[in-house]
């Protein structure tokens, strides 16, 4: 039963692992182009597994920002994982202890969370470990391969590979932005604020980490006020 559950999780996580490999390849190439070595980039992916957080973290590292700016940036960007892990823990039952739950929370990304929550059968520890195996390997291995490729490829190719990560975010944001006005408003507002920090002389002195935090919190706060989500009772 245990082996069957693990294999079932690995099978479900295979597409996610393949997708993570291609996306993290771009992150590895970008990290090397910014001055990190391939092993450092792979270690970041192995210990984080968060594309948006790693992209923002790389920006903070390159800008030589302070440690507390890095902590604040990651706290804001990755705060959704706390809510996702809380929701997922309610599906796992009492048989899964605290240490396995911490391990599951580590690789509880958006895609893995969606796969786990869509399962009708009870969630088991072997299934969750299988679900996270290939995504972890894909994300770390893709970063390492991208970093190694970025180390030997010409500068023109490395610059082109660095655009892959931006393309990933565009591919993630554009479809929901076309369908939902709140998402579109948040994207446009964040874009405007980010442009102000990049071009306005008085704001250009703000460090990259603080600018990311301000843009994220401001866009989320404004859209939360303009487009409040109705409580479940209100929809009945």
pLDDT digits (tens, 9 = 90+) for 74-94: 888 788 788 788 888 888 866
Above 60 in pLDDT, residue 2? yes
Q: Which two tokens stand for residue 228?
A: 């409040």
Same domain, yes or no: 144 and 199: no
Same domain, yes or no: 128 and 204: no
pLDDT at residue 39 in the model = 93
> For the whole model, what pTM was predicted?
0.70
Confidence of residue 232 (pLDDT cuts 50, 70, 90): very low
Q: Into how many domains does the chain fold?
A: 2
Same domain, yes or no: 37 and 88: yes
Same domain, yes or no: 11 and 31: yes
pLDDT at residue 189 in the model = 92
Same domain, yes or no: 138 and 187: no
Same domain, yes or no: 162 and 46: yes
Confidence of residue 138 (pLDDT cuts 50, 70, 90): very high
Confidence of residue 234 (pLDDT cuts 50, 70, 90): very low
pLDDT at residue 220 in the model = 82
Q: 119, 153, 172: which is the final residue of a domain? A: 172
> Can you tell me which residue has the tokens 């391969």?
145
Same domain, yes or no: 225 and 111: no
Above 50 in pLDDT, residue 136? yes
3-state secondary structure the chain: CHHHHHHHHHHHHHHHHHHHHHHHHHHHHHHHHCCCCHHHHHHHHHHHCCHHHHHHHHHHHHCCCCHHHHHHHHHHHCCHHHHHHHHHHCCCCCCCCHHHHHHHHHCCCHHHHHHHHCCCCCCCHHHHHHHHHHHHHHHHHHHHHHHHHHHHCCHHHHHHHHHHHHHHHHHHHHHHHHHCHHHHHHHHHHHHHHHHHHHCCCCCCCCHHHHHHHHHHHHHHHHHHHCCCCCHHHHC
Same domain, yes or no: 62 and 109: yes
Above 90 in pLDDT, residue 26? no
Same domain, yes or no: 226 and 155: no
3-state secondary structure of 100: helix
Taking only the tens place, the pLDDT of each residue in 207-219 is 766 787 788 788 8
Taking only the tens place, the pLDDT of each residue in 154-164 is 777 766 666 66
Q: 142, 172, 202: which is the final residue of a domain? A: 172
Cβ atoms of 166 and 29 closer than 8 Å: no
- Mean pLDDT, residues 33-39 taken together: 87
- Mean pLDDT, residues 169-176 taken together: 72
Same domain, yes or no: 59 and 129: yes
- Mean pLDDT, residues 1-30 taken together: 86
Q: Which residue range(s) make up the domain with 196?
A: 180-236
Q: 172, 192, 212: which is the final residue of a domain? A: 172
Same domain, yes or no: 159 and 102: yes
What whole-number distance in Å separates Cα of residue 224 and Cα of residue 88?
A: 24
Quote the strand ranges of the chain, DSSP E: none
Same domain, yes or no: 234 and 148: no
């Amino acid at each position: 039963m245990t082996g069957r559950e693990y294999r079932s999780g690995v099978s479900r996580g295979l597409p996610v692992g393949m997708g993570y490999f291609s996306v993290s390849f771009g992150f590895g190439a970008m990290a090397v182009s910014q001055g990190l070595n391939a092993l450092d980039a792979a270690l970041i992916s192995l210990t984080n597994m968060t594309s948006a957080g790693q992209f923002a973290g790389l920006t903070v590292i390159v800008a030589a920002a302070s440690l507390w700016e890095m902590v604040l940036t990651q706290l804001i960007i990755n705060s959704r994982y706390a809510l996702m892990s809380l929701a997922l823990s309610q599906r796992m039952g009492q048989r899964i202890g605290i240490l396995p739950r911490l391990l599951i929370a580590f690789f509880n990304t958006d895609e893995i969370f969606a796969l786990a929550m869509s399962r009708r059968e009870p969630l088991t520890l072997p299934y969750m470990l299988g679900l996270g195996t290939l995504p972890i390997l894909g994300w770390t291995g893709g970063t390492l391969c991208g970093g190694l490729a970025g180390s030997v490829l010409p500068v023109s190719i490395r610059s082109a590979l660095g655009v892959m990560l931006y393309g990933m975010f565009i591919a993630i944001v554009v479809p929901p932005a076309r369908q939902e006005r709140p998402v579109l408003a948040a994207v446009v507002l964040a874009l405007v604020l980010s442009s102000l920090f990049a071009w306005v002389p008085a704001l250009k002195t703000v460090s990259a980490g603080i600018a990311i935090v301000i843009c994220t919190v401001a866009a989320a706060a404004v859209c939360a006020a303009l487009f409040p989500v109705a409580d479940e009772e209100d929809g009945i």
